[in-house]
Structure 1
Amino acid sequence: MHRKGDRLKAKARKNSSSLAGSSTGCFKSPVVFSFRSLDSSQHLKETFECWEKEKLLVKLLNKIRAVSQKTMSEAMIDRIIKIYDSFPPKDKTAYSVPNYLSEELQWASMHLQGKAVIAGHVVENIFYIVFLDREHKFWKSKKKNT
């Protein structure tokens, strides 16, 4: 009988092997975050100032600090960072791929609190934050347990 943890580890290994430019060492290195690809022009045009007013900016920084202590494999196994097979379909997102990025990237998200998430793409152990998404519109999903 397979345990849930075994399935998660297998999925993390599968996803980690498919990450763009991945190498064995990158999943033993701590997660690093980059704001290089940040796009504040879509959906609610969310900025750091907006997140500060909503009291989300400090929570984001604390979460980044905590996740930076983990490897990408640990973050995926612990379900902190979710890796997607593709950019969300148009009917499942309020966003579009910025023209300076490729849809073919390894897209990912990380929950912050409540509906708030950050979304972006992952290359090796680097999470490039593209969207600040306080309404969970990067990949819309049905509510669970309601």
Structure 2
Amino acid sequence: MSGFDNNKKGSFLATIPVASIELDDDTLTKRCKFNFSYFYKQQASQSFDEWDHGQLIKLFEKIKDYSNDSLNHWRKQPIGKKSGHVLEVYGAFPSNSDFTLPKHVPHQAQWGRFRLESAVRLVGFVLPSDYNNKFHSCGERYDCNTFYVVFLDKEHAFYKMERK
């Protein structure tokens, strides 16, 4: 009876899919990451406790969805029929902004934003592409597929567009 149980157990275990980062169809390496270590509250931005439960749920749902693809994917992904993309990387900190450049953000930062909905934005920076595959003196590799979140922008005040 125990041989039969082992065969049954083996057959059952064989039906369970095996996930591996080494499989050709695994997408772990292309998925972008979000880092909140540079998060900063200033007058024009909001802190998490200023967003209601529903707004926070939407934020984390978007972050979950955006984490399925690379930053480059989101740079190319258009927003509906409008001009612009889900992720816009502006480069320099915008001059027409209600925000002030934080001193703790590296000067190499390429500033940008993820569009969450309507006027709501997740503002932060990415590393310039010339840091791709380079190592810091600590021995860790720079990650050009990470979006470093600095501000929550509920009113589209980071990069103000002139009304036409």
TM-score, normalised via structure 2 length: 0.64
Shift of 1:143: 4.1
State the structure with more CA Rg.
2
Structure 2, unmatched stretches of 5+, are 1-28, 78-84, 128-143
CA contact (8 A) 1:87 1:104 kept: no
- Could you say which structure has the higher helix fraction? 1
* C-alpha separation in 2, matches of 1:83 and 1:61: 21
Q: Give secondary structure in 2 for the equivalent of 1:62.
A: helix
Q: For residue 34 of structure 1, what is the aligned residue in structure 2? A: 35
CA contact (8 A) 1:38 1:129 kept: yes
Higher relative contact order (CA 8 A, sep 6+): 1
Asked whether 1:82 is paired with 2:88, we answer: yes
* C-alpha separation in 2, matches of 1:68 and 1:52: 23
Q: Give secondary structure in 2 for the equivalent of 1:84.
A: strand
Structure 1, unmatched stretches of 5+, are 1-27
Opposite residue 50 of structure 2, the aligned amino acid is: C
CA RMSD of aligned residues (A): 1.6
Q: Deviations over 1:3-31 (max 9, x none)?
A: xxxxxxxxxxxxxxxxxxxxxxxxx6211
CA contact (8 A) 1:86 1:103 kept: no
TM-score, normalised via structure 1 length: 0.71
Deviation beyond 4 Å, 4+ runs, structure 1: none
- Equivalenced residue count is 113
Q: Identity over aligned residues, as a percent? A: 28
CA contact (8 A) 1:87 1:103 kept: no
> In the TM superposition, what are the counterparts of 1:81-100 in structure 2 within 5 Å?
81-89=87-95, 92-100=96-104
* C-alpha separation in 2, matches of 1:31 and 1:85: 19
